[in-house]
Amino acid sequence: MYKNIRLKDIVSITGASIFSGEVNGPVKGISIDTRTLREGEVFLAVKGKNFNGHDFLSEAAGRGCAAVIVDCESSGNPAGLGVPVLRVGDTLKAMADIAARFRSMADIPVLAVTGTNGKTTVKDMAAACISGEFKVLKSRDSYNNIIGLSLTLFELSREYEAAVVEMGTNHPGEIDGLGAIASPTCAAITNIGDGHLEFFGDRKGVLREKRRIFDHIRPGGRKFVNGDDELLFEYASSEKGVETFGFREGCDHVISLIDITDDLSAFCVDGIEYTVNAGGRHNVLNASAAVLMALDCGVPREKIKEGLRCALLPDMRLQKIEAGNIVFINDAYNANPSSFVAAADYLSDMSVKTTKCLIAGDMLELGPGAEAFHHTAGAAAAARKIDLLITMGRYAGAFAHGARGNGMPTEKVLLAADHRQA
C-alpha cells in the first residue's frame, strides 16, 4: 500500500460501525479469500454468485486476520471471533470504497480499457508497451468487474509506477462505477458489439454504457476509440476531445498494414512502424490502441516497439494447440457476434492448405435476438469459405440453418449433441 493504513482508516473510508474489538491496529492488506489471506490483512466478507464470505469468518480469524468486515444484515453472529468486527451496509460497496481510496493515494498513470471485444488483449499489450519505462501493475486475467478491479487496486504499492486495468459490464451503470474507482489518466474503447444485449437492448445501449468510462478521466487525460467501428466513429465526431484510430480515412490516427501472417503483423500508426506477435486485423487494431495509450504515458517509441514485440496474447485468444497433425485454435472465451466474425476471419485468412473446421457453441446474453444472431454467424462462416462447420448448443440449429442457407453444403454442416460428439 502507498502509505500505512490502520483499522481506524478503514472505518473512516467505509463508514463502518464497530461491532466489537479495538481499531487502532495496522492493516497489511485486504482479502476476500481465506485460502490466500495473510496474517494482518482485513477479511472482507463479500457475497458472490457461488460463495458467501460470511461462511468463512472463523477461518479468517484463525488465519490471523486484522479484522473482518461484514454486512449489517448478514446471517449469523460474528461475536466471539477474537478479532475486531466491522459492520457495513454492503461489503461490495465497502470493497469499492477502499479500492477507490487506494487508487487516490497513488499518483501514477492508470490506463483503462473497455469495449465489447479485445479488452484483455489491449490491456496485456498496453502493459507490455509501457513495461520498459515503468514498473506496471495490471489486472489479472479478465478481472474486469467491481471485484476484479478492486482486487487489482488492492495490490497497489510504492513499487508500482503505472497500472493498466480493464472494465467490463453486463448491466447498465457498471462502467460508471468502475470508472469512478479507477479514475484513469487515459482510456480506450475497443469497439461496440452485440454483447450482453439482454441487458442493453441494442448497440446504442452498449455505447451509452461504454462511453461512461470517459466521464472519469483525470484532467488532461486522452480518450481513444476504434474509428473503424461505425458507432464509435459517429460518437467521436460529435464529442470534443475523443480521438479515433483505425484503417479508415478520416481517423485521427491512421493505421496501415505492411505485412500480416498467421502469427505476426507489421503495421504503421501515424506513419511509424510496429510489430506484434499476433495475426488478424482485429489484433492490429488492439495493438494500435495499446501503442497510443503508451505514447500518452510518455514512453519513448523504441521502448514501445520493443515491448509490443514481446507482448503475448491472453489464454484462449487465438491460442494454438497442436495434437498430432491437427492444430486447434482455442478462441473460446465469452464470445459475441463480432468476436465470432473476427475469429472466422482469422481462420479463413490462414495460409494453411488443409481443411479448415470451425467448431461453434452458443453465444450468451444476446436477448430476444439470440437466434437471429446465431443464424447470421452461420451465414458468416459460409461466406468465409470454411470447409467444415460443427455446431452444438441451444442455437446449433440456427447456426446450421444460416450456413446452409448461404451456400455451405449440407454435408459440411454437422450438429453435435455435446462436446464429446463434436
| Sheet hosting strand 253-260, strand order edge to edge | 136-138, 162-166, 110-114, 186-189, 222-226, 242-246, 253-260, 265-269, 272-276
194 φ, ψ to 5°?
-90, 55
Average pLDDT over residues 264-290: 96
Is residue 272 a contact partner of residue 301, using CB atoms and an 8 Å limit? yes
Average pLDDT over residues 248-255: 96
Is the pLDDT at 268 greater than 90, yes or no?
Answer: yes
Is the pLDDT at 45 greater than 90, yes or no?
Answer: yes
Is the pLDDT at 344 greater than 70, yes or no?
Answer: yes
Average pLDDT over residues 203-232: 96
Nearest to 7 by CA among 20, 17, 22, 19: 22
Cα-Cα-Cα-Cα torsion 400, 404, 410, 416, nearest 10 degrees, comes to: -10
Place of cell 467501428: 229
Question: Parallel, antiparallel, or unpaired for β 186-189 and 110-114?
Answer: parallel
> Distance (Å, rounded) from C-alpha 156 to C-alpha 315?
24
Is residue 7 a contact partner of residue 60, using CB atoms and an 8 Å limit? no
Give residue 4's pLDDT.
79
**Alpha carbon 219 to chain centroid, angstroms:** 24
Give residue 3's pLDDT.
67
Give residue 32's pLDDT.
96
A 10 A CB-CB count for 400 gives 23
Give residue 170's pLDDT.
82
Coil vs helix vs strand at 140: coil
Answer positive or negative: Cα dihedral of 181, 182, 183, 188. negative
Give residue 75's pLDDT.
58
Tell which wins on pLDDT, 68 or 141.
Answer: 68
A 10 A CB-CB count for 272 gives 12
Is residue 266 a contact partner of residue 273, using CB atoms and an 8 Å limit? yes
Is the pLDDT at 204 greater than 80, yes or no?
Answer: yes
Tell which wins on pLDDT, 73 or 81.
Answer: 81
Is the pLDDT at 77 greater than 70, yes or no?
Answer: no
> Distance (Å, rounded) from C-alpha 408 to C-alpha 378?
9
Is the pLDDT at 152 greater than 90, yes or no?
Answer: yes
Q: How far is CA 69 from CA 16, 66, 94, in A?
A: 8, 10, 9
Average pLDDT over residues 238-266: 95
Q: Taking the model in full, what pTM does it have?
A: 0.88
Answer positive or negative: Cα dihedral of 255, 162, 300, 236. positive
pLDDT in tens, 349-403: 888 888 999 999 999 888 888 999 999 999 999 999 899 999 999 999 999 999 9
Give residue 201's pLDDT.
85
> Distance (Å, rounded) from C-alpha 140 to C-alpha 351?
33
Q: State the helix-helix crossing angle for 203-210 and 230-238, rounded to 10 degrees.
A: 50
Average pLDDT over residues 190-202: 82
Give residue 76's pLDDT.
57
Flag the least confident range among 19-33, 182-196, 326-340. Answer: 326-340
> Distance (Å, rounded) from C-alpha 365 to C-alpha 386?
26
Give residue 2's pLDDT.
58
Is residue 283 a contact partner of residue 319, using CB atoms and an 8 Å limit? no
- Cα angle: 58, vertex 60, 63; to 5 degrees: 110
**DSSP string for residues in 50-103:** S-BGGGGHHHHHHTT-SEEEEETT-SS--TTSSS-EEEES-HHHHHHHHHHHHH
Give residue 1's pLDDT.
60
What is the percent of the chain where pLDDT is above 70?
A: 98
Is residue 45 a contact partner of residue 92, using CB atoms and an 8 Å limit? no
Q: What rounded mean pLDDT belongs to the chain?
A: 93
pLDDT in tens, 107-137: 999 999 999 999 999 999 999 999 999 999 9
Give residue 224's pLDDT.
98
